[in-house]
Structure formats: C-alpha cells, structure tokens
Amino acid sequence: MNSAEIRQKFFDFFASKQHQVVPSAPLVVKDDPTLMFINSGMAPFKDYFLGNKPAPYKRIADTQKCLRVSGKHNDLEEVGYDTYHHTMFEMLGNWSFGDYFKKEALHWAWELLTEVYQLPKDRLYVSVFQGDEKDNLEKDQEAYDIWKTMISEDRILFGSKKDNFWEMGDTGPCGPCSEIHIDLRTEEEIAQVPGKELVNNDHPQVVEIWNNVFMEFNRLADGSLVKLPAQHVDTGMGFERLCMAIQKKRSNYDTDVFQPMIQFIAGEAGVKYGENEKTDIAIRVMADHIRAIAFAITDGQLPSNNKAGYVIRRILRRSVRYGFTFLDFKKPFLYKLAEVLSDQMAHVFPELKQQLSFVQRVIEEEENAFLRTLDNGLKRLDTLEERFKENNNTIDGKTAFELYDTFGFPLDLTALIAREKGLRVDEAGFGVEMEQQKNRSRNASATEQSDWVVLQPDVSTDFVGYDRDEAESYVVRYRQVKTKNKSEYHLVLDQTPFYAESGGQIGDTGYLISDSEQIEVLDTKKENDLILHITSKLPQNIEAAFKSQVNAERRNFIRKNHSATHLLHAALRKVLGVHVQQRGSLVSEKLLRFDFSHFAKVEEAQLREIEHIVNERIRQSIPLEEQRNAPIAEAKGMGAMALFGEKYGEFVRVISFDREHSVELCGGTHVYNTGQIGYFKIISESSVAAGVRRIEAVTATVAEDYVQQQLNELNAVREVVGTQSNLSGAVQKLHEDFKVLQKQLEQFELKQLGTLKESLVQQAQQLDGVNFVAEQVEVSNADHLKKLAFDMRQVVDNLVLVLAAEIDGKPQIAVMLSDNLVSEKNLNASQLVRELAKEIKGGGGGQPFYATAGGKDAAGLPVVPAKALELVKNSLKQ
Ligand code: ATP
Ligand code: MG
C-alpha cells in the first residue's frame, strides 16, 4: 500500500463512522501567544475543547501538518539521527467533540489497524494511564477493560504521566491517553528480548504509532486541573510511522514518503544512501527539514531573525550546515528540493504547488546568505588559528560561542573544523557562555501570568466595533500579567467596541468609564477568541457597568488606512500583475505598510500609476460592501483574495469596495465610503526579503501634512539658493561649482604638502646612520598625513619619520621607517607609535614599517617630537 492510499483509507474509514473529513489547518499559528506552530492535531481545535466556541461537527477526521521544533514538544535534535522523529510530520486524527468516548475510539482504532491495514495483532502493544498521586488521578481502569476485550492482557501496559497523560503545553486542555505501539523487529530479534520490555524505551523498531487522548481536564497556570465542560476524544497517529509499519520498513525514511527526496539528494551529492552513517544523517536531515521549511513558508512564516521566523531560519540553517559539511553542497541546493517535495505532496496540500516559485526564491536567498556567513566564519577561524595554537592548541569557549552566535556555527561544526586543523575546542567554556546567554534572555522575557478570575462564566464577548465606537460593558473575567518592568491587567468584556490587534491592524485604545472612575485602555489584543483590554490598573469596582469608549479619532485614521490598504492591494495587482500576494501588513493611525510578493523594485512610474488608481477610487466615493458571515466557498466565488491561512469550517467576513476592484477576506475596521479616505500618498518603496517588497503610505490629513512638509522644505531650499524658477537647475549648478572649487583646493593643498616635504627633508638629523625627522605639522586631513609620510620614504634613505598633527581637532601621530631599519636596527613603527600615543591619551598600531595613532588630548602633541628622539636614540643604543 503506498502512502497516498494509506492516508485515503484513514479518511474513508472514519467517514464511514460518520466523521466529517476536513483539510489541515495552516502550520503557522496566528492568534495564540502560547504557540508558534501547530504541534499536534488538536491545536487548531483548542477552542472547541476549552468550550470557547462550539465545534462545527461533533465528529471530525483529518490529517494535520505538525511542527515540533520549539516549546514543549521539540524533537529537532533527534531528527536525522533517529528513524522516526521528524520536524514536520502529518498527524492523522479522529475527533469527538462531546460525542463518543473511550469505547468507540479504542474499538475503531483496533479495527482500522488490524482489519483495514492488516497490521499483525501479535506485534501490537497498548498502554493505559497508571494514575498519578500528585494530580490525585486514578488509574484508567475503563480503558484497560475495553482493551481486554480485544487484546491479550500481557500486551496491555500501564504507563506513567510522562507517556500516558497528554498535555498540549504548560496550560490548556489535557487528559489520560492510551498509546498503541508496534514491534517491527525480526523474529530472531524478538526471541532475544521480548517487545514488551522495549515499549516506550526509545527503541527505533518498537515505536509508538497512535495516541488516543481522552480530554477531560484543563491545566491552569497554578498547576491545578479542572474538569472541562464536556468529554472529548483527540487521537493522533503519526502518518510517516504508520507508513513504515504497513510497508514493513525499518525506518520512516525508507517509505515512499521520503524516498523521492532521499534519492534526489543522494544523486545530486554523488553518494549512495545507506552506505555511510555520516552522509546518511545529512541526507535525512535535508529530506526532513525541507518539509518544515517549505510548509512553513507556504503557510505564511518567512525566515527572519526573531520569534517564529527565527525557528524556521534555524531549521533551514541546520540543513544547509549538514549539506555543506557532509555532502559538500557549497552552493544553494535546498530550493531545488522544494520542487521535489511539491511534486510529491501537492495532491494533498495544493498550496505547496501554488506558492512554489515564491518559496524557492525565499529559500535560495536564505541559503546564499547563510553560505556567505559560513564562509566568513571559516575565514575568522583561519585568522585566529595562530592564537589558538598559542593557546595550547585550543579554541577557547568564548570564540566557539561567538562562532555559534554570530556565524551560526554550532559546536559540532566548530569541533569538526578544529579537528581538521589539529585543534580542540573548550566545550566546557562554550557551555558556560551558552548558559549565560540563556540566563540573559530568560530574565528579559520572564512573565508571570495569573489565572483568570472569572466573574461571569460561559460568557463570550460580543464585538460591536464594526458599527459603534461605544458600548455598555461588564467585565466577565480578568487577570494580571507581570513582567520584569511592568505589570498590566487583561480585562475581557461581555460586549466591546474595541478592535483587538489582528490582520495587521493595531489594537484600539480608549477608556472604560463607570460612574465612579475612568480606566484607560492602553491596547487591545487577541488570544484565541478572547479580546483582551490591556490596562495598567484594575477598576476599583470591577462589577460596575462601564461605558467602553474607543478613541474615535484614532480609530478613524486606522479605518482610512485599512481601507486604503485594500485599494492599494487591488491597484498593485492591476499595475504589477496577479502574482502580487499579501505577505504582511501593518495598519496604524499614522501609516499603512503593505508587504507583497514581487520580484523587482517597483519603478517610479509604476508607483505614480498605483497612487493615481487609489486616488481615483477615493474620488469615486465607492460605498463599503460588507458581508459578515459568508461561508468560505461563497467568498471564493466572489474572487476574494487572501484565502491562504484560513481555518476550515469558518465563516469569513468579506469586504469589498466595488466588487470589480477589491474583494478581500478581512476582519478589520473600514470606512463606509472610500471618499472618507480623502487622499492617498506613497511615502516609500523598499525590499524586506527575497521577493518581498514593502510600500508605506499615508492618507487623509496625514498625507496632506506630508505633502505640505515636502513643499516647505522645497521653499526653504529656494530661499537659500535665492531662485524662484528652475530650482533643480540652480542646485545642479551650485553642485558643479562646488566640485570645481573642491578640486582647486585639493591641488593647492597638495602643493603646500610638497613644500612641507622639502623643508622636512632639509631638517633630517643624522643619528647613528639613521636620518631622523620628527615634527609637528599642519595638514588638512589624514590622507595627507599618510601621503606626506609615504612621499618622504621615497626620497630619504634610512628614514625614521615621526609626524604629529591636529586634524579636525583631534591629535594624530604617524610613524614611518625605511624597510631596512626594521630588519637591521630592530626598530618597529607599531611599538613606537604606541609609546608616543600615550602623550595624546590614545592608542594605535599598524605594520612594522608604518603605523598611526589617534588620541583625545591634542595638548600632548608638542612633546611628541622630543619623546620620539629619545625613544629612537635609546633603541639605537641597544
Ligand atoms: P514519541 O514519544 O515517539 O516522541 P509522542 O509521545 O511525542 O511520541 P504524541 O504527542 O502522542 O507523540 O503524538 C501522537 C503521534 O504522533 C505519536 O504516536 C507518533 O506516531 C507521532 N509523532 C509524534 N512526534 C513525532 C515526530 N517528531 N515525528 C513523527 N511522528 C511523530
Ligand atoms: Mg515526543
């Protein structure tokens, strides 16, 4: 059975048990501060488990893209080394939301595995929860009794909280679980050690394939458990492991899920997979990581230098590094692999193909940048080599850490290069540096969040901000959040006009006003479906009725900028082409920023045309057409843009300004009529990443002010230049005149420099076979000082020259020696200049024959020549 059939059989099986089969949610998580990427099949359904939102179906089955590279579930370091952990993998799941429970779930799991997939019963083991004293939980006898009817009791094992109590994160829904393991070893191997002893023991051939979780609890921040309003089933089966079991392979990488990529990599590297442990690991790393990288970028997460973007960048760099070190890929390669992946997976995940060329460009650019960094790091190692040799043939911990931190060299790579050079690495020292950095970042980000204080349970927030700036509200829950420097409160209201930051639009500010007090709302944020009003203090009377009032003037600017963003998006597609896709945006009261895919600079003329189109739409006063609850299919039919990243089963809000021009899915606040925007002006166009451009623009009075300010500046220039007509011509002329004068001045100064040189030559003093010159001189810049020194060297033999000068208020010293003096008389310009620099409170250095120094104290300059004479006399004596 190939992998596509295996996946399909899963869907068909659960469809036959009345499950609705839905597509995978995007890998990238948008509105959840506790999670960067989906790490399990249940994460997209979190709100249903918590009871924040009703599930659209009671029974669902799906395959969910998961990424386990950060946070509670992090398998990154295993990947490549073992045969069954991946960064990105598919989790097949069947779900009951308050519907069936343990009995059905376990029976169906058994039926699917043993009857549909025909896995041998005598190779399967199951585990159930043994209970836990700390959490005051009993053992899961119910699950045990169900299994007993299907499988012999010596194949049912009890497991601890670590393996048999599933938790998504530090807080959130959780419950006991029952795992199914398979023993894939040969008969001979089994004869030696019974499979039972290897379950949950990290044996590569005795692996967990399926976990059935019975969600019953919610873990709170204080560590306690509370019962969820209903019981649910959440199951997760590792698709790649299932394929290994059914296809009777000993490694996930030997299945048809990975083989196309493995063969491609091996072919390009000119090696055979399976012959050398080192190259095999590198091949597995690359075959695995390309999936995480390509899916993440496709789902909207570009590599970057912070947060989720940094996680992706690190994965990408990890694979470049393995390819670079073990497969000799010195040029970008991963981007080619993205195509192999897309060819193979597009039938299940069509988004891979649709975004392929964009994804490839992003990857290639990242690869190039990192390969350059690697190269710089190698060079740095080369230049420090002497120092390491002197340091007992050791690369010190600090340098190893610097290589890691700035050049992306992990310790193993540094160690590898060190070995080639006959050096070793101070690994303990590296560990110390690493620990220190961790502490620094831990301290910077430590937050303490109290549990919610719930005043009105089961009340969800009614958002009324599309229609109003004000509402009557009650607080339904609140909590305190403390970080190192501040303490704030999060208030959730039963009804609110405040828009929470999302979709690029910033959060509203305003006030909560009761009869007795007024509380400022500093910002509004979203956490899943909760709208958090952020304040610096708690109302004294928290149960009062509040008038919740958005800062309307600010909100109006935001509306204008948001609607203008839609008009800009449409204009971009019209002028540049339909490949333009939104890659990010920011809508604030001050400006709008729009990032989009496009592969070249937007020309000036195109910018003017785009601006013109937007202003035309504004002048046409097009009314807003808003559909608050359109099913996704209908929105698609209207040609809505930005369909990526929507979760399945959601109703969407469609915003259009004349359906011909602009139709978008959008949750933001908008003007009622484009005329309200008033005026639109682009203020910059730039590049943000490979294939991504950024336009910033302003609207309404901000745009007016911007234009006025430009005009004011122009007028100021007119005043200075003293002309009303042909300003650019006049400035051009001024500029040319200036260049002519500058040249004349330079020539004049050089002539003076020549005269100065002549007089210095005359002053040369004979000292023990040396021509000694030391003088304080006047020159206009450092280049001239250098030129003077080098010119002197041309005409005077056996020269020891010391020049002191004040340049732009700062003291400088230059020392020049004839080459023969360096070798014969044991003189050294670097040493000399360092000694002399003490007089001017400075330092410097250079080469043995020429060195310079700068300092802070020009008052010391006059003593430099005399000191130089003394120093040189002394060294000539020795
Ligand atoms: P393991 O102990 O093997 O790491 P787990 O306990 O972390 O597994 P769960 O969180 O229960 O796994 O996830 C459900 C299923 O997803 C597992 O039974 C397994 O088949 C699969 N799975 C988990 N992590 C990975 C991974 N990194 N790569 C591939 N499949 C995985
Ligand atoms: Mg795990």
The mean pLDDT value for 507-520 works out to 97
Q: Which candidate, 682, 684, 676, 683, places its Cα nearest to that of 700? A: 676
The mean pLDDT value for 748-763 works out to 93
pLDDT of 474 reads 96
Query: pLDDT tier at 857 (50, 70, 90 boundaries)?
Result: very high
pLDDT of 585 reads 93
The mean pLDDT value for 659-670 works out to 89
pLDDT of 214 reads 96
pLDDT of 307 reads 84
pTM of the model: 0.72
Rounded CA-CA distance 359/467 in Å is 39
Please determine, for residue 494, whether its predicted confidence score (pLDDT) is greater than 90: yes
pLDDT of 646 reads 60
Please determine, for residue 413, whether its predicted confidence score (pLDDT) is greater than 80: no
Rounded CA-CA distance 72/307 in Å is 15
Compute, in angstroms, the gap from residue 156 CA to the centroid of ligand 2.
21
Please determine, for residue 648, whether its predicted confidence score (pLDDT) is greater than 80: no
111 to each of 13, 107, 150, 290, how far by Cα in Å?
10, 6, 10, 34
The mean pLDDT value for 643-659 works out to 74
pLDDT of 822 reads 87
- What's the CATH number of domain 557-713, 3.30.980.10, 3.20.20.70, 3.40.50.1580, 1.10.10.60? 3.30.980.10
Please determine, for residue 642, whether its predicted confidence score (pLDDT) is greater than 60: no
| Per-residue pLDDT tens digits for 700-713 | 999 999 999 999 99
pLDDT of 645 reads 57
User: For a pLDDT cut of 90, what percent of the chain falls above it?
Assistant: 72
Compute, in angstroms, the gap from residue 163 CA to the centroid of ligand 2.
9
Rounded CA-CA distance 450/318 in Å is 37
Least distant ligand from the CA of 200? 1
Compute, in angstroms, the gap from residue 208 CA to the centroid of ligand 1.
7
Q: Parse the chain into domains and list their residue ranges.
A: 3-257, 259-390, 448-550, 557-713, 746-877
- φ and ψ at residue 474, rounded to 5 degrees: -120, 150
pLDDT of 182 reads 96
Q: Which residues pair with 180 in a beta bridge?
A: 126, 210
Q: In this structure, what token pair is assigned to residue 600?
A: 């070249």
Please determine, for residue 649, whether its predicted confidence score (pLDDT) is greater than 70: no
Q: In this structure, what token pair is assigned to residue 667?
A: 């949750």
| Per-residue pLDDT tens digits for 809-835 | 999 999 999 999 888 888 899 999 999
Q: Which candidate, 415, 421, 412, places its Cα nearest to that of 389? A: 421
> Binding site annotation covers 566?
yes
The mean pLDDT value for 676-697 works out to 94
Helices 552-576 + 604-619 axis angle, to 10: 130
> Binding site annotation covers 243?
no
Secondary structure (DSSP) of 153-172: GGGEEEE-HHHHEEESSSSE
Query: pLDDT tier at 448 (50, 70, 90 boundaries)?
Result: confident
The residue ranking higher by pLDDT, 445 or 293, is 293
CB count within 10 Å of CB 39 equals 24
Helices 277-298 + 259-269 axis angle, to 10: 120
Rounded CA-CA distance 737/383 in Å is 47
Residue nearest to atom 23 of ligand 1 (CA): 238
| Per-residue pLDDT tens digits for 329-386 | 999 999 999 999 999 999 999 999 999 999 999 999 999 988 988 888 888 888 888 8
| Per-residue pLDDT tens digits for 103-115 | 999 999 999 999 9
User: For a pLDDT cut of 70, what percent of the chain falls above it?
Assistant: 98
- Sequence-distant (6+) residues with CB within 8 A of 715 are none
Q: Which candidate, 344, 224, 366, 400, places its Cα nearest to that of 297? A: 366
Please determine, for residue 445, whether its predicted confidence score (pLDDT) is greater than 80: no
For the domain covering 448-550, report its CATH number.
2.40.30.130
Please determine, for residue 498, whether its predicted confidence score (pLDDT) is greater than 90: yes
Provide the 3-class DSSP secondary structure of residue 805.
Answer: strand
Give ligand 1 pocket residues (Cβ under 6 A): 40, 68, 75, 85-86, 89, 91, 208-211, 236-238, 240-241
Q: Which of 10, 64, 90, 91 should be mutated for ligand 1, with most atoms under 8 A from CB?
A: 91
Provide the 3-class DSSP secondary structure of residue 849.
Answer: coil
Burial 544-579 (b: 16+ CB within 10 A, else e): bebebbbbeebbbbbbbbbbbbbbbbbbbbebbeee
Rounded CA-CA distance 178/166 in Å is 9
Q: Which of 65, 76, 77, 89 should be mutated for ligand 1, with most atoms under 8 A from CB?
A: 89
Please determine, for residue 786, whether its predicted confidence score (pLDDT) is greater than 90: yes
Please give the biggest Cα pair distance in the chain: 112
- Residue pair 295/27 in contact (Cβ under 8 Å)? The answer is yes
Structural domain 3-257, CATH architecture: 2-Layer Sandwich (3.30)
Least distant ligand from the CA of 236? 1
- Residue pair 426/396 in contact (Cβ under 8 Å)? The answer is yes
For the domain covering 746-877, report its CATH number.
3.10.310.40
Compute, in angstroms, the gap from residue 470 CA to the centroid of ligand 2.
48
> Binding site annotation covers 85?
no
The mean pLDDT value for 639-667 works out to 77
Q: For 327, how many CA atoms within 13 A lie in the half-sphere containing its CB?
A: 31
Q: Which candidate, 869, 871, 811, 815, places its Cα nearest to that of 840? A: 811
pLDDT of 824 reads 85
- Residue pair 841/856 in contact (Cβ under 8 Å)? The answer is yes
Please determine, for residue 221, whether its predicted confidence score (pLDDT) is greater than 90: no
- Sequence-distant (6+) residues with CB within 8 A of 772 are 764, 765, 766, 800, 869, 872
Residue nearest to atom 3 of ligand 1 (CA): 208
Which run of H or E residues covers position 148? helix 141-148
pLDDT of 51 reads 74
